[in-house]
A and B are shown apart, each in its own frame.
Chain A
Amino acid sequence: MKLCTFNAGQDDRVGLTIDGETIVDVNLAYAGILNAAGEPKASSLADVVAPPEIIELIKGGASTEVALGEVAKAAAKGGLAGPNGEQAMFKADDVHIKAPVPAPSKIFAIAINNKQKFHIAEKPDCEEHPNYFIKVPTCLTGPYDPIEIPDIGIVGSEIEVAAVISKTARFVKPEDAMDHIYGFMTHNDITAHELRDTSEWIVSKRPEGDVRLTYSGRYKCFDTFSPMGPWLVTKDEIKDINNLSMVARHNGKDVQVGSTDDMVFGWDYLIPYLSAAHTLYPGDIVSWGTVISPEGVNFQKIDLRGEGGYLESEVEQLGTLNNPIKPI
C-alpha cells in the first residue's frame, strides 16, 4: 500500500494511491463505502477506523487494515466518493503532496552507515555501533517542494531510506524489529557540509582532557532540509528492504549512487539499539544513512545552492523526490 499526506485546499488528509497518479482520500472514501453498504453512522465510524491523520491511522489496528484494504480494492475500480457525494479522488498533480508523516514526535538519522565509509573510519575501542543525531519536524517538506538554502557554504544531498515506526515500544528484540516498522519512505537528509566542517565544532578543554565536539543542531536542521515521500510504502509491499537501489541526481547528473545493501547496521540492529535508549512512538521516523558518490564525483562538494536547479532522490520501489532548489 502506498499512503501519503495531501492537501486539496482544506486540512491535510491521508491519501492512498494505486498508480501514483490518482490519490484517494482514505477517510472520505471509506465513509462512502460504509454508507453505500447501509451503515447509518458511516462518517463517525470512518473517522475512528480510517482517520484522516496519518499517525492516528498508523496507530489503528486490524479494523484499520481491513478499511485500507477495502479502499484500495475499490480505488482500483474507481468512482469513489464521500457519503454525501464529496470528491474523494484527486489527480496527484492537482493537490499538494506533503511529507507523508508531517508531524512526527521524533526523527532519528543514522550517521555514516555505509560499508565503504564506516569500515575505513577510525572508531572507538568498543563494540561497533552506529552514531546518530536528531532532526526537527520543521525540516520536513514535501516531495516536490523547494529546498530553501541560505548562504552558508556548500549544502549537499544525502539520499536515504527512512522507516516509520508502527507502535509504542522500548527494549525491542532483534527478532521483533520488523513488527515495529510500518513502512518506508524516500528521504534526502540535506546537509550543510561546509558549515559542519568550518563552524559547528568546539574543542573543549577539560580537566579530564581535550574533547572535540561537533553539534548537529544547525547544519542538519535548517527548514526544508528533509524532503520526504512521496509515499509511505507499507513494508509488505517491499520485496527485499536490504536490496533497493538508491540514486540522487542533481540537474540530471548522478551525484550519489548506492543501495540499501550498503548499510552496515540493518533494522534488526537499529530498532533494538534505538529503543534501548528511547521509547519509540507510532509515526517516529528513523533515517537509515546515506550512500557514496559514483566514481569521479564527491557529493560533499556538490554545491546545490551555487549551481541551483533541482534535486531528484530516487529509491527503488519507494518513489522519487524531485525538489527545486531555492536559494534564500
Chain B
Amino acid sequence: MKLCQYETNNGDKAIGLAIADGEKIADLKQVFQAVPTADQAGYQVPSDLQRLIEDGPAGLAAARAAENALLGSPDLLGNPEAVFAADAVRLCAPVSRPPKFFAIAINTRHNWEKALKPENPHATYFIKLATCIVGPHDDVHIPDIGYVGSEVELAVIIGKGGRHIPEDKALEHVFGYTVHNDITAHEMRKTTEWIQVKRPDGSEERLTYPGRYKNYDTFSPMGPWITTADEAPDPNKVTLRAWLNDDLVQEGSSADHVYGVAALISYLSDAHTLEPGDIISTGTVPPKPPWTHPKIDLGRIGGVLTTRADGFGELKNPIVFDEGVV
C-alpha cells in the first residue's frame, strides 16, 4: 500500500491512496465509506497521515480495507469525486511534523571503511528539524552559503514505538518507507560549522555541529508516499540515485550501507524512545564521478533536483537560489 498526504484544491489536507503506479490518488476518507459498516469497526479516517500512523493496527487495517474496496469496485475507481490524477493534486510530505527525525551520517561502506574511526565504531547521526520537510514537488530553497548538495536517502517511518528494541524485532516497528533528500550545505560544514576547543587538561578537540548546515528550511524534500512495510521491496537492497537536471550526480545502493534498517532501529532505540511517525533517514550514497560535492552546487547550477529510490518513488524539486540569505 502506498499512502500519501495531499492537499485538495481548496487547501484541505487529506490522506490519499496512491494507485496505478502512483498515477492516481484516491481519497482515503471517501473510499473508506465504501467499506461495509461492519468492517469499518467504527474507525474514523483522519485527515492527517501522522494520525493514522499513531492509530496503529486500526489505522493500517482501515487503509487496507479501503484499498480492497477500491480495487474491487470499477464504479469507485471511475468516480471523479474520489479518485484523481496524481498531478491534479498537490502532494505533501507524508509526515510533516514527526516527533523526531534522525539522519544517519556516513553509512556508505566505501567511505566508512577508509575513514579514521573510533576503536569500537558504530553509526553516528544527527537530528533534523520538521521545518526542513517539504513535499515531493515543492521548491527547495538554497541559501547563499557556498556549495549545497544532494544526499539521496531511503527514510524509515516508525509505526510502533518502543525503547531497547532487539534487532530481530526491529522491523515490526516499521510503518513504511519513503524517499528523502537530506540536502546538505557541504561547504559550510567544512568552512564554518566547527570550533576547536581547548580543555582544562590541555587537550584540544575539534567539534563540528550539524544544527545549521543540515537544517535550513526546505532541506528535506520527502515523499511522494509511504510504501507500507508489508509491500515494500527489501530496504537493504535499494538503488538510490539523484539527478541534477539531466546529470546523474549520485548513484549507489543501500546494499552498500554499513548499518541496515533493523540494526539502526535497534541502536537508536537504546538511547531514545521511538514514537509513531518518527523518521530515520538511513544514509546516502557517494557522488557519481566525475561529480564531487563541490561540483554539485545546487544553488548556482539551478534547475530541478530528482531523487529516486527504486521501488519507492521519486521526488522532483525545483531549485530556488536565495541570493543573500546566509
A residues with a Cβ closer than 8 A to B are: 103, 105-106, 108-109, 111-112, 117-118, 120-124, 126, 129, 131-138, 150, 170, 196-218, 221-223, 276-279, 281, 293, 298, 300
Contact = CB atoms under 8 A, between A and B. Distances in A.
B131 A278 contact: yes
- Which of B197, B199, B205, B212 has the most CB atoms of chain A within a 10 A radius of its CB? B212
A163 B21 CA distance: 47
A199 B114 CA distance: 17
A279 B111 CA distance: 33
Nearest to A217: B125
A134 to B, nearest CB: 4
B131 A132 contact: no
26 contacts: A106-B131, A112-B207, A120-B198, A124-B192, A124-B195, A132-B209, A135-B127, A136-B100, A138-B99, A138-B100, A197-B205, A198-B118, A199-B118, A202-B105, A202-B115, A205-B115, A207-B292, A208-B292, A208-B294, A213-B105, A214-B208, A216-B210, A217-B103, A221-B272, A277-B217, A281-B131
Contact of A217 (B127, B198, B275): B127
B84 interface: no
B29 to A, nearest CB: 26
Nearest to B112: A202
Given A121-B198, A129-B192, A218-B271, A137 B118 contact: no
B195 A131 contact: yes
Interface string B103-134: 10110000110111111111011111111000
Interface in B109-168: 111-112, 114-122, 124-131, 143, 163
B191 interface: yes
A242 to B, nearest CB: 22
Interface of B: 97, 99-100, 102-103, 105-106, 111-112, 114-122, 124-131, 143, 163, 189-201, 204-212, 215-217, 270-273, 275, 292-294, 325-326
Contacts of B215: 134, 277-278
Given A131-B207, A134-B215, A199-B121, A205 B194 contact: no
A200 B200 contact: no
Given A137-B99, A221-B127, 5 more contacts: A129-B192, A133-B127, A135-B127, A213-B124, A216-B209
Contacts of B99: 103, 136-138
Contacts of B106: 202, 204, 213
A108 B209 CA distance: 11
Contacts of B163: 223
Nearest to A211: B190
Contacts of A281: 131
B142 to A, nearest CB: 12
